Structure 1
Amino acid sequence: MIKSELKSKFIEGIFFSNFFLILLSFALNIETIIKIGLPFNSLEYYMFITSATVLFYLYAYRIPKSINNSTNLRTLFYVNNRKFIKLFTTILLIICVYSSLVLFGKSFSNFDLISWKWTLILVFTALVSIGYYDYQIGVSLRRVMWLKPFLIGWTWAITTVFFPVLFLILENGTYYHLDAKFYFLFTQTFMYCVVNAILFDLKDFEDDSNKNLKTFVVKYGYHFTLNRILLPLIFLGSLSFILFGIWDNLPLHRILFMLIPIIFLAIFAFRLNQPKPILYYLIAIDGMIFFKAICGILSVVMFEC
């Protein structure tokens, strides 16, 4: 009984604290490098991108000191573990600041290699990130129904596909030619994370409704979102995989292997006929993205190496 409780608390700690996002961000970054065929980034880069990712989500789940109880298990976790979360945040902040300073030192002399288009993308992403959580300036993009999942998908695609290449250019002082694989991977990651963001909204249906957040689920209902929005997006994702495979002259077994993550996502979506516990969503949905990264890595290791 004690071992079971400790195991349960350990799993809650990994997923409720967003610690799993460290592994998730790292895996997606590695997938990008392996699929495009570029050298690995520096240790400082992976320290920076993983710590910054978790800090971004920790800021989203900050709990006011006035709240001492909640019916939401994730909120209750943050209430009962304030000291741990504060220590965890401090450690991540130190890692993030240290690694960013090292990266800046390595990259300063190569900023001229970055085109105005890439600079514009960086500025846009920074503004989106600020507007997503900052209520003090009167802007909250997460309250715009159509924007929320697409902004989350954009942020993940930027930090796991765009950033690895950007920082390779800055650190190595070498401009890498990007072919269709880069743009397809960016689009694939973007759409996959959009679907996952909408799936997350399914778990937050009650909380978002109480907070007046106009998500797809709050606006159209649980089953409409599942059947009329998620499943068509998954179908389009499958179609894009097939078309890219045909365009790139990939063999049938390679195309089928590439389809595995999105097929699993479709199966998972079909099984969401009834709302599930929040921890179920966190493990399954985050696990789906991690599974996508692993399949992407294996698709190169198994068929190209």
Structure 2
Amino acid sequence: MEKKMSNRFVESIFFSNFFLILLSIALNVETTVKIGLPFNSPEYYIFISSLTVLFYLYAYRISKKINYSINPRTQFYINHRKIVKIVTIFLIIICFISGLILGFKSLPNLAIISWKWILVLIFTGILTIGYYDLKLGISLRKTMWLKPFLIGWTWAITTVFFPVLFLMLENGTHFNLDAKFYFLFSQTFMYCVVNAILFDLKDYEDDSNKNLKTFVVKYGYHFTLNRIILPLIFLGFLSFLIFGIWYGLAWHRILFMLFPILALAIFAFKLNRPRPILYYLIAIDGMIFFKAICGILSVLLFE
């Protein structure tokens, strides 16, 4: 009985995307710690974490006409339609209020933001809209090459770009960004791209039936794993090694920060057969969280 309750609790945390709240905050904290900036305000963390969950809740919305699915996660949303609706409304209210507070704080300092930052925001907004099938004639989720890179870009923006942007807007201070910022953005982007492709492995049959052209649907399970995911992990490993040497980081710190990439490689090697959806959710989201923790500890322990 206790085991069933424990399993249900774990399912509710990961199926409902609530773990993403912790994930979003951890990655945002990693950015401020690594770059050496002050922490953002509480309302910023409330805004960005609630916005992240809402982004995924909308992506996983289920039609009222569907009453059964072989996908456990889809069935979870079918079984808990009322609760999901209440939680969504609550998150919208929280996101709106915190966003309003941020807006009032930021409005007087908009002039310090250059056109380059504004251009990135507009570009990100267009990509985000294109992620959903809003009957506009485009749906980036159905485009094989764009879906994982869009997800990676969104995570990099909300966890690396946004904390710096809102810190400048709230404090009215412009920060000169060095190579650390750009490398952290690239690292987060590529790490989340690989995770997104790994994540598609769990939805192979479901995506195939929905005509979503993911890497796995296009090339197959083992080809995606061996010819796409593992080479990308190796490139991430190599780029971090080169950056660490170029930036003059101590070897023990470089090796410590390579742990998340090594964990990703080990996980990918072990995916020689399809796993339950909950396994993917815990392992893949857990590795992103592990990346954030290693990034924070690398500064606290070695600087």
TM range (shorter): over 0.9
Q: Which amino acid is 2:17 matched to?
A: N
After superposition, the C-alpha distances for 1:179-238 in whole angstroms (9 at most, x for unaligned) are 100000000000000000000110110011001111100000000000000000000000
Stretches (4+) displaced over 3 A: none
| 2:53 corresponds to 1:43 | no
Q: Match of 2:277?
A: 278
Residue identity opposite 2:10 in structure 1:
I
* Whole-angstrom CA distance in 1 between matches of 2:95 and 2:217: 35
Residue type of the partner of 2:274?
A: P
Output the amino acid matched with 2:37. Answer: L
What is the alpha-carbon distance in structure 1 between the residues aligned to residue 46 and residue 27 of structure 2? 14
Q: How does 1:64-75 map to 2 (within 5 A)?
A: 64-75=63-74
Aligned to 2:226: 227
Residue identity in the other structure for 2:214: T
The AA in structure 2 aligned to 1:190 is F
Q: Which residue of 2 aligns with 1:267?
A: 266
RMSD: 0.6
1:162-181 map, 5 Å: 162-181=161-180
Task: Report percent identity of matched pairs.
Answer: 74
Q: CA deviation at 1:134?
A: 3.0
Shift of 1:241: 1.0
Equivalent positions of 1:110-259 (< 5 A) are 110-259=109-258
Unaligned runs of 5+ residues in structure 2 are: none
Q: Which residue of 1 aligns with 2:14?
A: 15
Aligned residues: 303
Shift of 1:135: 3.1
**CA–CA distance in structure 2, aligned partners of residues 251 and 70 of structure 1:** 51
Residue number in structure 2 paired with 1:298: 297
Shift of 1:88: 1.1
Cα deviations across residues 36-65 of structure 1 (Å, max 9, x unaligned)? 000000011001000000000000000111
Give the AA of the match of 1:245. Answer: G
Q: When the two structures are superposed, what TM-score results if normalisation uses the length of structure 1?
A: 0.99
Query: How far 1:138 moved relative to its partner?
Result: 1.1
Segments of structure 1 that go 5 or more residues without pairing to the other structure are: none
Equivalent-residue separation in structure 1 for 2:251 and 2:138 (angstroms): 47
Q: Given residue 170 of structure 2, which amino acid in structure 1 is its aligned partner?
A: E
Letter in 1 for 2:187: Q
Amino acid in structure 1 at the alignment position of 2:113: I
* 1:129-171 deviations in Å (ceiling 9; x for gaps): 0011033111101111111100100000000000000000000
